[in-house]
Amino acid sequence: MKTPLACAIAACGLAALPAMAEPQSGGVINTVIQPEPPGLVLGMIQNAPTRTVAGNIYEGLLRYDTDLNPMPQLATSWEESDDGLTYTFHLREDVTWHDGEPFTAEDVVFSADVFHRELNPSARAVLQHVESIEATDDHTVVFTLSQPFGPFMLSFEAGTFTMVPKHVYEGTDFRNNEANNHPIGTGPFKFENWDRGTVIELVKNEDYYEEGLPYLDGVNWHIIPDGASRAVAYENGTVDVLPYGTVENFDVPRLSEMENTCITQEGHEYFSPFAMLWMNNREGPTADKRFRQAVMYAMNREFARDVLWNGLGEVPLSAFGSNARFQNEDLEPYDHDPEKARELLDEMGYDGEEVTLLPLPYGETWTRWAEAVQQNLSEVGINVRTESTDVGGWNQRLGEWDYDLAFTYLYQYGDPALGISRTYLSDNIEKGSPWNNVEGYENERVDELFNEAATAFPEEKREELYHEVQEILHEDVPVGWLLELGFPTIYRCNVKNLVTSGVGVNDGFKDAWIEE
């Protein structure tokens, strides 16, 4: 079922807009970031708000279009060996960091082989297949894989494989480096100022290597904690762009009808945001798979989609979203079935032990969703206590495994080996990060299947392995699968060329301009 709003958004898109005039230089776009990021160093921090702002400061070797085809970024060209083991990237020779130092192949080696191996679970999922990374000269980098890895060329987006300056971070405590307060990238915008709780200001990188870009003089990311106030800021002209998730879903229909307002769902193809309910597999009722199955049957996910998300998004069948490759469509869906949930709870002997639920602190829609889930679970006899936190507290509680149930959403990145396996592989259990195997799920066969499927050849073999792993996960329910999220971006129609890649506004301001 799609609401009229969902259908309207689906019908419109960039292709429906009139042909654009010649770009104009100048002007500052005011936009919103919600919630305030915990920091701006990509790779070190993987929160969505960090990616959105810092994707305009940092860059990767490649960008991806809305069909997930690779496009040049810091790498101008690349070659793959016939055996699929060697990838050679040729870098731009005219790139400097924001502090004026040259960007070289040594920065690539350091970023991938040192910085990301230590800090970034998403990149580590790729790097486990990389045997060596070598700078053969100042502008050539060779990645040698231990075995072919099908989605390797999907790995180099800025938020996943961020390039960071070796001369700034080498030999330091990465997490406590002073540069974290004044991030240094190669991107089209430079960090200017962060007035905590008010605004993050980015200014044009006058030395940017792409001639004529960016067109804008700057981008101001306003921090407005109250959802109603964010909507008012757009209505009264204080802000020009509302990135995905920055206004409550119930405000979207009204805002979309305003004069000089455009709306698009494009720009999320690379991420495929997938909402989940972490369920602690280590202890308490949530350690029993029958309890976790009961949670799935108890939740009314169709209500969440139709009412809380205005019909935007899809209810997932299981661990693999519909945009992910190799989905097993033969699985039996977890329909809303409270009676089945009660039967499972009776079977396991659940005695009413209290479980805690952490909402995702990203606005009122998420708060309402947590309330709806709490009600669903209470209706089948599960004793739930909600404990709200701010973003920092949420990161800490998840990273320390201090929860029973918790909302999150993660990106699926177009291929199971990039965005899905990290949630379930037992060697990705590590305290301190809210983006890996936070639930503590361990299954030797699942490990074998994910690892084999990542490098299997041909594609039919990968599909066979991924279908089997989905059958096991569907039975074990390590996490609750909530919704494939639909995220509209709302903007003034005279803001042109805003979404030019599969990550949308995360790198879109480079090409954007304002029509006077």
Give the separation between CA 213 and CA 262, rounded to whole angstroms: 23
Give the range among 48-52, 68-72, 121-125, 279-283 with minimum mean pLDDT. Answer: 121-125
Specify the length of the chain in residues. 516
pLDDT of residue 371: 97
Backbone dihedral angles phi then psi of residue 125, each to the nearest 5 degrees: -60, -30
Beta pairing, strands 218-222 & 241-242: unpaired
pLDDT of residue 141: 98
Q: What percent of the chain has pLDDT over 90?
A: 80
pLDDT of residue 458: 84
Which one has a higher pLDDT value, 16 or 216?
A: 216
pLDDT of residue 5: 55
What is the rounded average pLDDT of the residues 493-497?
97
> Quick check: helix, strand or coil at residue 88?
strand
Helical axes 289-298 vs 459-476, angle rounded to 10°: 90
Give the separation between CA 89 and CA 139, rounded to whole angstroms: 8
**43: its two tokens:** 């790779």
Q: Which CATH class is domain 62-169?
A: alpha beta
Furthest C-alpha separation in the chain: 68
What is the tens place of the pLDDT at every residue in 82-108? 999 999 999 999 999 999 999 999 999
Q: What global pTM score does this model have?
A: 0.79
E strand or H helix at 82, and its extent?
none
- Residue range 273-485 in CATH 3.40.1010.20: no
pLDDT of residue 418: 87
Burial of 178 (0-12, 13-18, 19+ CB in 10 A): exposed
Q: Is the pLDDT of residue 15 over 80?
A: no
Handedness of CA 11, 12, 18, 19 (dihedral sign): negative
What is the tens place of the pLDDT at every residue in 127-179? 989 999 999 999 999 999 999 898 899 999 998 899 999 999 999 999 999 99
* Cβ proximity of 224 and 233 under 8 Å: yes
What is the tens place of the pLDDT at every residue in 338-379? 999 999 999 999 999 999 999 999 888 899 999 999 999 999
Q: Is the pLDDT of residue 265 over 90?
A: no
Reduced DSSP (H G I as helix, E B as strand, rest coil) percent helix, strand, coil of the chain, to 5:
35, 20, 45
Give the separation between CA 107 and CA 101, rounded to whole angstroms: 11
Q: Is the pLDDT of residue 329 over 70?
A: yes
Q: Is the pLDDT of residue 8 over 70?
A: no
pLDDT of residue 9: 53
Give the range among 345-359, 379-393, 405-419 with minimum mean pLDDT. Answer: 405-419
What is the rounded average pLDDT of the residues 46-53?
90
**190: its two tokens:** 């430079």
Give the separation between CA 270 and CA 36, rounded to whole angstroms: 23
Domains of the chain: which residue ranges?
4-57+187-268+487-514, 62-169, 273-485
Give the separation between CA 189 and CA 169, rounded to whole angstroms: 20
Q: How far is CA 434 from CA 46, 95, 410, in A?
A: 9, 33, 10
- Considering the domain 4-57+187-268+487-514 in this protein, what is its CATH number? 3.40.190.10
Q: Is the pLDDT of residue 13 over 50?
A: no
Instruction: Compute and round to an integer the Cα radius of gyration of the chain.
Output: 23
Q: Is the pLDDT of residue 1 over 60?
A: no
What is the rounded average pLDDT of the residues 13-20?
44
* Cβ proximity of 66 and 269 under 8 Å: yes
pLDDT band at 20 (very low <50, low <70, confident <90, very high): low
CA angle (365, 369, 375) in 5-degree steps: 145
Give the list of residues 6+ apart from residue 205 with CB closer than 8 angstroms, or none.
Answer: 98, 187, 188, 189, 190, 214
Half-sphere exposure of 481 (CA within 13 A, CB side): 26
Give the separation between CA 37 and CA 200, rounded to whole angstroms: 10
What is the tens place of the pLDDT at every residue in 194-226? 999 999 999 999 999 999 999 999 999 999 999
Q: Is the pLDDT of residue 271 over 90?
A: no
> Quick check: helix, strand or coil at residue 181?
helix
Give the separation between CA 436 and CA 425, rounded to whole angstroms: 9
Give the list of residues 6+ apart from residue 57 with CB closer than 8 angstroms, or none.
Answer: 40, 42, 98, 183, 185, 187, 189, 190, 191, 202
Amino acid occupying residue 201: E
